[in-house]
Structures are given as C-alpha cells and as structure tokens.
Amino acid sequence: MARAVSPSVFVVEERRDWQVTAPHLAPHRQDREPWGTHHVKLEGSLVTACGQSAIAWPVFWGRPFDATAKGACPRCAHVLRLAHAPQRRFSA
C-alpha cells in the first residue's frame, strides 16, 4: 500500500539529484578534484547525506560518486545504496 503523499511533493523528490562535494579542492590541479574525504548531497542541500554541514563546500558537478574510491565517505555511500535500492512495500 502506497503512502498518502501529495503527488507534487513526490515529483519534487524524484527530480532531486546527488552531487559530489568535499571540504576542499585538490591543490595544484588543472581540473577541479575533491581533496580528502568526499561526500554526496542532494542538489540544493546544505548538508551531506551523512549529516555534515556542507555550507561553502565546493560542488563537483557531473562527477560520479565511486563508493569504492579512496576517500569516498562510507556513510554517504550507505545512504546512496539505500536511496537507490529497489522500492520495498510495507503493508499497513
């Protein structure tokens, strides 16, 4: 049984997308690269998927988040896996 959610709210949620973000840019690089641990956040959000404040953190547009890469935040990877898991239905 589907939850009673407004159709417009559902559509907004569906359109939101994940972006890679990190506290710092890698120094001395031509390309923009994250430096240290990199996280994901929803577009327009000020908080990462793992709950850290990402205000003023650079965003790496179009960069895929590789959960197996060195420096990938394991908590953000876990949230992404849950978000992209097949929908489960719960009977009420």
Cβ 88 to Zn ion, closest distance in Å?
24
Q: How far is the CB of 57 from Zn ion (least distance, A)?
A: 11
Catalog residues that contact Zn ion under the rule CB under 5 A. 39, 48, 50, 73, 75-76
Three-state SS sequence of 1-15:
CCCCCCHHHHHHHHH
Pairing of strands 59-60, 18-21: antiparallel
Strand, coil or helix: what is 43? Answer: coil
Amino acid letter, residue 87: Q
Using the minimum distance from each CB to Zn ion, give the nearer residue, 26 or 67: 67
Nearer to Zn ion, 10 or 71 (CB): 71
CB nearer Zn ion, residue 50 or residue 59: 50
